[in-house]
Structures are given as structure tokens and as C-alpha cells.
A and B are shown apart, each in its own frame.
Chain A
Amino acid sequence: MKKYFIPFMLVSLVIAFAAGAILASAAQAAEPKRGGWMKIATDSTAVGLDPAIAIAFSSSTYFEPCYESLLRFDKNMDMEPSLATSWEQPDDLTYIFHLRKGVKFHDGSDFTSADAKYTFERILDPKTASPRKPFYTSISKLETPDKYTLKVIMAEPYPNFLTVVATWYGSIVSKAAVEKHGTLQSVVIGTGPFKLEKYEHGVKAVYKRFEDYWDAPKPYIDGYDFIVIKDETSRLAALRKGTVDVGWIKNAQLASLLSKRKNLKIMSGPAVRQQRLWFKNDRPPFNNVKVRQALASAINRQEIIDTVMFGHGVLTACIPTACVPYGLSQEEMAKLPFYKQDFELSKKLLKEAGYPDGFEFTLITSPHSPDYVPCAEIMQQQFAKIGVKMNIEAKDWGITLKSARSGKFEAIMYAGVWYPGPEAYSFNQFHSKSSANYYGHNDPKLDKLYDAQHTEVDMDKRIEMWRELQRYMAETVPCIYPYASPPRYEIVNDRVQNYSILSNNSRVLIRQAWLDK
């Protein structure tokens, strides 16, 4: 037994130390430390900072730490009070928000119901020309019975209202600030945990803790630099070296290179970023639903996921599985019509549609994201097997967007983002009366299904309606959804504690993060 004594002691010592270290770090993890400066890398540059006007994600990522809404999401994407301490719905058309007292704007003025009312009025005012307006058109009246109560009355039930309000789509602005400056494109005055201290366009932005923030003792960090590093390789290098603490990588393969680094954590949100192959549905050949169905059953979605996304992708219908609780599960999606690769079926459908020898068309996409062109190339190969020749034109991002908006395309492909609620993923694209229906889609039955869920407040009925919608859209193929993936991979240095990225790519949880060193 003597010869086992020393190894046994060594092992016990190691276990003791490990246990001690784990306990110590667990205890440490519970105590947020105040102070320190963070550095975050981004690849976006804002085009204006007004939450009602600059709606692109590249801008909202700049102003979201400074503004707040009536509600907010916690790290599980559940809604919790923010500028409203509580709210109630006496009937389907009325919302009453009880506002928080003692909240200050960055310029020292007090937050009252007048500011909340003004925020929504401003978005609805045609003079503001806010692209956010479609999300609030159901509002018919805004009332402020007293300084800390806001009453919102809808013209028709709008079940998505609270989800919309909880994001940066509902950023509360200061009435006085707008009246003083006219526009908020270069001025940021909100109630949020950070003040925008310095803004160098295309270079960096500097945020400092707002000392009078209502949710004290947050934020714990003194502030952070938001540094623009567009080149993904340079961002990767900066994360490795520790020049920046947080940054995201879009390319799944590059992100996995960092998994070997022990001082870095990789976080990814749920798979809400849908890839979409759209067609011009009001012109031949795609005005024939059988043609679209044929193309849908020609592709092998799993093959695309494995090759283009290195396995980091999932099936999706018109809403992703991650759109809880409406999304179908992965098993259910695999059983949707035209979701299994079946060349015989495709060829049969093409013959019925009048294209027995196939046809040719051009797809517009962009190298803007690393997966667009490879995905198109795989689909090109798969379509070739049923006699359909797809020509790929990879264009600059601005040109791609312009082509989409002006309707000048036969087929176009790019991915989407997170949306608040199920309808925003496709409603504006395919409803025949929508001004953003660039695809010429006109299906009265689809319109009816959309309209019905838009005003349905009963949750169980809504879930059932959306199950039907997902099946109907898989059947009629207004567009093809090859896969959905996490929008990006957030890389976080170990010295940053208690931070996670929200599934809508929002970094607002910076307010609760703290630095270990």
C-alpha cells in the first residue's frame, strides 16, 4: 500500500485545490466589482443616432446603451419593467403603463409621461418621416392622466405591441431635447445607463457611466470604448491579443478558431437569422407556384447547412424555431411539404408547370456576409440536377438592397435579422397591401391568414394560427428558406463577468456586466 500513498496524497491535494478554487471563484462571481474600462469591437458604423429615423441595426447598436423603453428584456428574453414599473390591459384595446418616478435624462431633466407620449406621437407624425411608423399605426390615442401614467388606446387589437415596445423600437426620448435640437441624429439624450461621451464617425464611440441612472448600482463599469474594426481578421487578432474585450465574429469557422483560447468565451444567440431566397412572384416563371415548389424540393437543406455553415444551422419555416412559442420544432419542420429533397417530384412539377426542359434565371446576392455566395453556389448545383440553370450575380451590398427595394430582380437572396414577434419576419414582405412587398406576391388566402393573427389576442389561438401559417407558406412557397443560423458569435474575454448577448443581438446587458481585473 505504501507505493500508492504518495499518488493518493497528490490526487487529494489536487482535488482539494480544485475544489477550493471553484468555491473561491464561485464566491467571487457573485460579487460584482465596480469600476474599470471595457473595450468592445464592432464592424458597424452608424448612419445617424436618432432611434426614430436611423433604424438599421448598424445605428441602433450605437444608441441602444443610452436609451430605454417602457419595458425591457432580461437575459432569457422575458419582459420585465424598465421605465414602466407595471402595466395592465383593462380590455383588448387599452394599455395603461405606470411610469417610474425619479428617472432622469442625461441632461438632468426629469422623465415624465409627457416624454413617453411625445415619443410615440413623434414616430407617428408624418413630419418626422420615421421608418418605424408601420409598427405603431394601430395606436389611435395617447393619454396622460397624470405625470406618471400613460394610457395607449388602439384602433384594433395589436398583440405584438408589448414586444415591439420592449426593444429599441420603443426608445423613449426627451421632449425638451427634441424641441431644442430639432433632430436626434447627432445628439443622444436618453435615460439609459451610459452617456455618449465622444463620437468619432467610423472610428470609435466612447461611453461613460451615467451617474444618475435609476437602476443603481448598475452599471458597474466606468465606461467603454466602442471601436470600429471592420476587417474580420483584424477583429479576430484584436480579440486574441486582448486589445478588445468583446467583439463578434460572423464567420462560424473563424469563431471556432478562437474556441481553443482559454481566456475567451464564445456565446451565440439562438438561430433567428433566416436565409431567404426570394423570387419575383408576379412574373414568369415564378408566378407559377409549381415552379417554386419544384425548386424548393430540389434543394437539400442539411447539405447546405453542413457545407456552408459548418453544421451551425437549423431548418426554418417562415418563422424560426427560436421564435418561441410560435415556431415549429425541427422535427415538425422536416415534415413540411417540399422540405425533403426529391428530384422526381421536382421534375414532375416542372413538367406540369410547362417547363419540361427546365429554364434559366439570374440570382442577385452579395458577399456582404460570408455565407451568401457559398449558399447560392450549392443551390446552383442542386438546381442543375433538375435542369434549372441559376446564374449568380454577386453585387455590392448597397446595390443588392437597392435591387430588392426597386423590384428589379428575378431572384434575390440575403439573410434577415431578429424581429420582435412572428409577423415581422414575413408580414411586410408578402402581404399584398404592404408597401414593402417587393416580390409581387399576391395571395388572398395568405392575406386573410395574416390579418386574422394580427388582431388575435388569445395566445392559444395565435399559436394555432401560426402553425397553420407555417404550413401554408411551406406549401405555397412565396420564398425558400434554406436555413436559419445564429446571427453572430459574440467573443468575450474572461475578465468580463455577467455579460451575455441577447438573442436580438442587443448588447444592452452591458448594464449588468463587471470586470474581474
Chain B
Amino acid sequence: MIRYIVTRLLTLIPILLGVSILVFGMFHMVPGDVIDIMMGDESAGDPEAAEELRERMGLNKPVYVQYWRWLKNAARGDLGKSLTSGNQVMDDILGRLPVNIELMLIAMGFVIFLGIPLGMLSANKQFTFIDGLLRVVTILGYAIPNFWLATLVVLLGSLYFEWLPVLYYVPFSENPLENIKCMIIPGFVLGTTTLSYIVRMTRSSVLDSLRQDYVRTARAKGMTERVILYVHVLKNSLIPVVTVLGFQIGVLIGGLVLTEEVFVLPGVGRLILLAIEQRDFMIVTGAILFLAFVFVMMNLVVDVIYAFLDPRITY
């Protein structure tokens, strides 16, 4: 097991290197740089001054020179300085991270503590009204893109439901209660697609398990339904669900950007979006690298959990 974990951690290096080259390279293929944005749409600005500023910031050097300079620092853990805010890239990212961690936790919370029980309920009560209702609702939840849902919530929240606590952000350290209030709806909206998916996955997984021979044996032995369901079936059904969860984390990270933008939350997603618009490649490269790192680590965690759930699996 330890060897497996170490091997997986070692794969981080080529992955991160590849991601950085890809992002850095792609970014420099896009026309326009931060100086163009600084000058704005003022055709009254002075192009010579622009060239001078570029020279100062090292932006007129060839791409591979700029990349090498970046890589040398990144290897030491220094992701450089943002071209637009002047802060250290790491500081900018870490400053925004709590918002994303909280959104992910809330979304995953809904998925695990609402999704799995609902899936089990649906499986248990197969062919009843509850099952039918849940199946219809989850198809909708899966099909509706969460940025559309976010915009809908925000608009309705300003037209008819003005009491909905959206469009502002209070950090947890300032006021825990207000913080939960303003994050819970965005967190839920972020997770609706995954939630729907997990309900269905759990349902089909549980249904599969309930048809297994060992369940019939247990019933014959006189075990109560509750024990069968929660002790035996649940653990076995979770295996495919955990696999899917690992994959869905990537989906959740991707969904963060638009959710943050619509609900006006200061997270890493918005940081990246703004940096792309303003051509701040230091932030874009650093932040995407960071997200890649998080993605790889979370997949590793999920795989390790997998091993604990299924004793047949050894690494």
C-alpha cells in the first residue's frame, strides 16, 4: 500500500510539468497581453510607452525564455507575482481557497448525506411513487446545467424571493452564521448535477446488491431488513459510488467558476476567469497547476478509500 501511494505521488511530477507547459504555451498563443488590457480601448494611448512597459516586465522575450524563468522559480515553490494585482500568486490563490473548500464541502455534503440516503430510499421503495418521483427529479437535476440554475436562483431571488440570502459573501471567521447562510444555496446549486447522478448510481448499485445471493441467505437466517441494508448492502454498494465520486470531483471543480461568478463569491474560479481576461498568465498557470495538484491528490484519496471498502483490492 505504501509503495502504491508513493508511486502515485511520484506521477505528480510529470503531470504537473505537462500541465504547466500546456497552459503556459496555450496562453501565449492567444493574442493580446496584459499591457493591451492596461491601455484599454483608448486608441489615444502611446504605443511606444506600451513597448517600454513590456520590456520592463520581460513580456517581449520569447515564450521558452519566459517559461524557463517561471519553471526555475516554480520548482522552488515560488509561483511568482501576479501581473495585475502585484501580489504573490500563491497568496492570491490561498486567500481565495477557503471559499472553494467551503463550496466543495457543502456540495459534497449534500451529495453524500442527501444523495446516498435518497438513492437507498429509492432502491428500497422501488416501483412506488417515491421512486418514480425521485427518478424524474434526478433526471432534471442531471440535465439542467448548474450555471443556468444559478442564474435562475439569483433572478428569482431578486424578483419574488427577496429573503433568499444570495449575492454577498461573509467569511466564516467574521460571522459563522451569516457565512453558512450565504454559502448554502451556492453550494447546493454547485452540487445538483453530482447529487442527481449519485442518487441514481446508489439506487442501481443497491438494487444490484439486494438481488445477490448473500442477501437472500441473510434474510433466510432471520436478519432484519435494516441490518441487511445498512450493514452489508450499503458497504458493497458504495464501491461503484466512490469510483464515480472521484470522477465527479473534477466536474465539481470545473463547475466552480460559473457558480462563483453568478453568486459573486470570491473564489479561485473567478480569479482564474479574471486572470484569463486580463492576460495575467502568472495567475492562470499557477492556479491551474494548483487545481491539477488538488485533482490528482483527491483521486489518490478516493482510490485509498476504495481499498478500505473492498478487501479484494490490494495495491
- Interface digits, B145-176 against A, CB 8 Å rule (1 contact, 0 not)? 00000010011011100100011100000000
Supposing A126-B52, A130-B49, A200-B266 touch, asked if A402 and B157 sit within 8 A by C-beta, the answer is no
Cross-chain contact of A129 among B56, B86, B166 (Cβ < 8 A): B56
Interface check A185, CB cutoff 8 A: yes
Complex CA–CA separation, A200 to B36 (angstroms): 22
Which residues of chain A come closer than 8 Å to B92, judged between CB atoms?
201
* Inter-subunit contact A131/B168 (CB<8 Å): no
Complex CA–CA separation, A436 to B42 (angstroms): 10
Interface check A367, CB cutoff 8 A: no
Q: In the assembled complex, how far is the CB of residue A241 from the closest CB belonging to chain B, in whole angstroms?
A: 5
Interface check A290, CB cutoff 8 A: no
Interface check A438, CB cutoff 8 A: yes
Complex CA–CA separation, A229 to B264 (angstroms): 6
Supposing A131-B49, A241-B167 touch, asked if A57 and B44 sit within 8 A by C-beta, the answer is no
Which residues of chain A come closer than 8 Å to B39, judged between CB atoms?
55-56, 131
Chain A residue nearest in CB terms to B40: A56
Which residues of chain B come closer than 8 Å to A416, judged between CB atoms?
41, 43
Which residues of chain A come closer than 8 Å to B46, judged between CB atoms?
130-134, 435-436
* Inter-subunit contact B277/A186 (CB<8 Å): no
Complex CA–CA separation, A386 to B299 (angstroms): 60
* Inter-subunit contact A135/B44 (CB<8 Å): yes
* Inter-subunit contact A237/B154 (CB<8 Å): yes
* Inter-subunit contact B151/A233 (CB<8 Å): yes
Cross-chain contact of B41 among A403, A406, A417 (Cβ < 8 A): A417
Interface check A51, CB cutoff 8 A: no
Interface check B85, CB cutoff 8 A: yes
Interface check A234, CB cutoff 8 A: yes
Which residues of chain B come closer than 8 Å to A238, judged between CB atoms?
158, 167, 264
Question: How many A residues face the partner with a CB closer than 8 A?
Answer: 60
Interface residues of B in 96-119 (CB under 8 A from A): none
Q: Which of B4-12, B27-35, B202-210, B216-224 lies at the binding interface?
A: B27-35
Cross-chain contact of B261 among A129, A135, A230, A402 (Cβ < 8 A): A230
* Inter-subunit contact A47/B84 (CB<8 Å): yes
Supposing A55-B45, A237-B158, A243-B168 touch, asked if A398 and B32 sit within 8 A by C-beta, the answer is yes
* Inter-subunit contact A397/B262 (CB<8 Å): no
Which residues of chain A come closer than 8 Å to B213, judged between CB atoms?
none
- Interface digits, A43-58 against B, CB 8 Å rule (1 contact, 0 not)? 0011110000111111
* Inter-subunit contact A419/B44 (CB<8 Å): yes
* Inter-subunit contact A399/B32 (CB<8 Å): yes
* Inter-subunit contact A186/B86 (CB<8 Å): yes
* Inter-subunit contact A47/B34 (CB<8 Å): yes
Q: In the assembled complex, how far is the CB of residue B152 from the closest CB belonging to chain A, in whole angstroms?
A: 10
* Inter-subunit contact B264/A234 (CB<8 Å): yes
Complex CA–CA separation, A45 to B84 (angstroms): 9
Interface check B53, CB cutoff 8 A: yes
Q: In the assembled complex, how far is the CB of residue A408 from the closest CB belonging to chain B, in whole angstroms?
A: 9
Interface residues of A in 383-414 (CB under 8 A from B): 396-399, 401-406, 414
Supposing A129-B53, A131-B50, A201-B87 touch, asked if A234 and B31 sit within 8 A by C-beta, the answer is no
Complex CA–CA separation, A54 to B279 (angstroms): 15
Q: In the assembled complex, how far is the CB of residue A175 from the closest CB belonging to chain B, in whole angstroms?
A: 21
Chain A residue nearest in CB terms to B52: A129
Max chain A CB contacts within 10 Å: which of B49, B86, B162, B277? B49
Q: In the assembled complex, how far is the CB of residue A500 from the closest CB belonging to chain B, in whole angstroms?
A: 24
Complex CA–CA separation, A430 to B138 (angstroms): 60
Max chain A CB contacts within 10 Å: which of B33, B85, B263? B85
Supposing A53-B53, A229-B264 touch, asked if A402 and B36 sit within 8 A by C-beta, the answer is yes
Which residues of chain A come closer than 8 Å to B277, judged between CB atoms?
397-398
Cross-chain contact of A202 among B33, B167, B271 (Cβ < 8 A): B271
Interface residues of A in 44-90 (CB under 8 A from B): 45-48, 53-59
* Inter-subunit contact A55/B53 (CB<8 Å): no
Complex CA–CA separation, A300 to B71 (angstroms): 55
Q: In the assembled complex, how far is the CB of residue B40 from the closest CB belonging to chain A, in whole angstroms?
A: 3
Complex CA–CA separation, A37 to B73 (angstroms): 43
Q: In the assembled complex, how far is the CB of residue A96 from the closest CB belonging to chain B, in whole angstroms?
A: 27
Max chain B CB contacts within 10 Å: which of A201, A236, A435? A201
Q: In the assembled complex, how far is the CB of residue B150 from the closest CB belonging to chain A, in whole angstroms?
A: 9
Complex CA–CA separation, A360 to B148 (angstroms): 38
Complex CA–CA separation, A414 to B41 (angstroms): 9
Which residues of chain A come closer than 8 Å to B200, judged between CB atoms?
none
Interface check B307, CB cutoff 8 A: no
* Inter-subunit contact B41/A398 (CB<8 Å): no
* Inter-subunit contact A240/B41 (CB<8 Å): no
Interface check B236, CB cutoff 8 A: no
* Inter-subunit contact A56/B266 (CB<8 Å): no
Q: In the assembled complex, how far is the CB of residue A427 from the closest CB belonging to chain B, in whole angstroms?
A: 8
Supposing A47-B37, A129-B53 touch, asked if A231 and B44 sit within 8 A by C-beta, the answer is no
Complex CA–CA separation, A3 to B42 (angstroms): 70
Interface check A452, CB cutoff 8 A: no
Chain A residue nearest in CB terms to B265: A203
Which residues of chain A come closer than 8 Å to B41, judged between CB atoms?
56-57, 401, 414-417
Q: In the assembled complex, how far is the CB of residue B277 from the closest CB belonging to chain A, in whole angstroms?
A: 7
Q: In the assembled complex, how far is the CB of residue B71 from the closest CB belonging to chain A, in whole angstroms?
A: 25
Which residues of chain A come closer than 8 Å to B50, judged between CB atoms?
129, 131
Complex CA–CA separation, A489 to B166 (angstroms): 24
Supposing A201-B92, A436-B43 touch, asked if A48 and B49 sit within 8 A by C-beta, the answer is no
Cross-chain contact of A134 among B44, B166, B279 (Cβ < 8 A): B44
Chain B residue nearest in CB terms to A50: B38
Chain A residue nearest in CB terms to B152: A233
Interface check B274, CB cutoff 8 A: yes
Cross-chain contact of A201 among B38, B82, B154, B264 (Cβ < 8 A): B82
Complex CA–CA separation, A436 to B82 (angstroms): 28
Complex CA–CA separation, A238 to B157 (angstroms): 9
Which residues of chain B come closer than 8 Å to A396, judged between CB atoms?
30, 32
Which residues of chain B come closer than 8 Å to A424, judged between CB atoms?
44
Interface check A149, CB cutoff 8 A: no
Complex CA–CA separation, A402 to B40 (angstroms): 11
Which residues of chain A come closer than 8 Å to B85, judged between CB atoms?
186, 201-202
Complex CA–CA separation, A204 to B169 (angstroms): 11
* Inter-subunit contact A398/B37 (CB<8 Å): yes
Please list the 6 inter-chain residue pairs (A to B) with the smallest Cβ-Cβ separation, ordered nearest first. A56-B40, A398-B32, A201-B85, A237-B158, A129-B52, A131-B45
Give 20 new A-B contacts, CB below 8 A, not counting A131-B50, A135-B44.
A55-B39, A55-B42, A131-B46, A134-B45, A134-B46, A200-B266, A227-B264, A231-B151, A233-B155, A234-B167, A234-B262, A238-B158, A238-B264, A240-B159, A241-B167, A398-B37, A402-B31, A402-B33, A435-B47, A436-B43
Pick 5 A–B contacts, CB within 8 A, sort by A. Answer: A57-B40, A203-B266, A234-B154, A241-B158, A405-B36
> Which residues of chain A have a CB within 8 Å of any CB of chain B?
45-48, 53-59, 126, 129-135, 185-186, 200-204, 227-231, 233-234, 236-238, 240-241, 243, 396-399, 401-406, 414-417, 419, 424, 428-429, 435-436, 438
